[in-house]
Amino acid sequence: MLYFYFIFNFKKIFNKFNIMKLINSEKLYQRSVKTLVGGVNSPVRAFKSVGGNPLFIESANGTFIKDVDGNEYVDYVLSYGPMIIGHVHPQVQEFVVKTLEKGYSFGATSENEAILAELVCSAFPTMDKIRFVNSGTEAVMSAIRLARAFSGKNKIIKFSGCYHGHTDALLVEAGSGLATLSMPGSGGVTQASVQDTLIAKYNDIASVEKLIQEHEGIGAIFLEPIAGNMGVVVPTKAFIEGLNRIRKQHNILIVADEVMTGFRSCFGGAQELLGLETDITCLGKVIGGGFPVGAYGARAEIMDRVSPLGDMYQAGTLSGNPVAMAGGIATLTVVKEENPYAFFNDYAQKLSEGMLGFAKEKGVPLQVNRFGSMMNPFFSENPIQNYEDAKKCDTQKFASFFWKMLEGGMYLPPSQFEAWFLNTQLNDATLNKTLEVFKNSI
């Protein structure tokens, strides 16, 4: 009798504290670590900054994601941004399946490429033409080459904490995964690769002006209009105005990396809302609707330097893949029809105000940065305006917080330095549930 009494009450205690079962994830991790580097295909998925081993995901639908142990979560990762209208959206699913039935890849141009190009260019006033590639990294890598070809100058400026993919020239003082792993740079990146890369401080226009005074031959400034790889960091008005002035005064191209922010704050880019004057724009994530897509675009005189019209060579066998284009077309069509940006702002405001209120009540220092459908809570007493501020956050608190939120059914990025993303399938029920779990976790 005592045995059955113990088993019965153990189950009650187990359910009360919502202890997670991750048995299958652990088995798959032990299997994968033998043949995948670190058991993953992208570093942040390894959970190094929060401890423990990564979750393995089995399926997703709408705003929910489910792991291989059957645990279901409200998904605030959303594949790190692309799933803006939720997972397996009926309209996206239908169009992708129809496209698949016609073929997977042609190595030739298809109508889908023209349709998606028209959709994207119509959303960006500074973009006459576009070139599709396969990832955000590839888009930025190509934009570096294009900026140098058009300007005739080799040096570029980037900002500490801004991540632009793993291309050599910009993999210095990057945020996100490098910040998560406490790595200052990367092995295999030679000094020659970065000798023409200059580092400025985000939200500090004086640091940009100093570099211009000290160096000749600066052709372009690369930045995330909203920094999303040191957490969500919003630029000041003075910073944006200063960049616009420098662009004209010194004839330096502004390259906006909107791989993360494209279509997440308006139907177009954050650059329009911020008043940032740009020359080249890099895109990814949302424009593929969950499929591997990147792109770079600009006014015609710049893009006409790209082969086959000009002397800047760039190519890709799977660029403009018809299935990936279908995912982007369907996703952007739904976003344009629904125009969810007022909803995103309202949801983010209620969520951030609720989190700040509970944190204050419990005496936990917290900052919440947000812009459109992106947000990020920082465990810090001080506002976060640049990479230096972000690095002072309490990452140990975040690690504990991450696991408590996960146990409560909230799937968050496993890093203090990654943005949370919203999707159109969220509602009052998910908002209230998130705040309830946050209150218990804080």
H and E: helices and strands count for the chain: 16, 14
Catalytic residue at 346? no
Which of 204, 257, 279, 389 is catalytic? The answer is: 257
> Parallel, antiparallel, or unpaired for β 64-67 and 57-61?
antiparallel
Task: Assign 153 to helix, strand or coil.
Answer: coil
Burial 221-247 (b: 16+ CB within 10 A, else e): bbbbbbbbbbbbbbbeeebbebbbebb
The conformation of residue 200, written as its DSSP 8-state character, comes to E
Q: Do 129 and 302 form a contact (C-beta atoms < 8 A)?
A: no
Tell me the C-alpha distance between 74 and 408, whole Å: 10
* Catalytic (active site) residue 76: no
DSSP 371-418: ETTEEEEE--SS---SHHHHHTS-HHHHHHHHHHHHHTTEE--SSTTS
Tokens of 147: 């900026």
Catalytic residue among 48, 285, 296, 387: 285
CA distance 100 to 354: 44
Out of 163, 347, 387, 411, the active site residue is: 163
Active site residue 3: no
DSSP 8-class letter at 235: P
Residues serving a catalytic function are 163, 257, 285
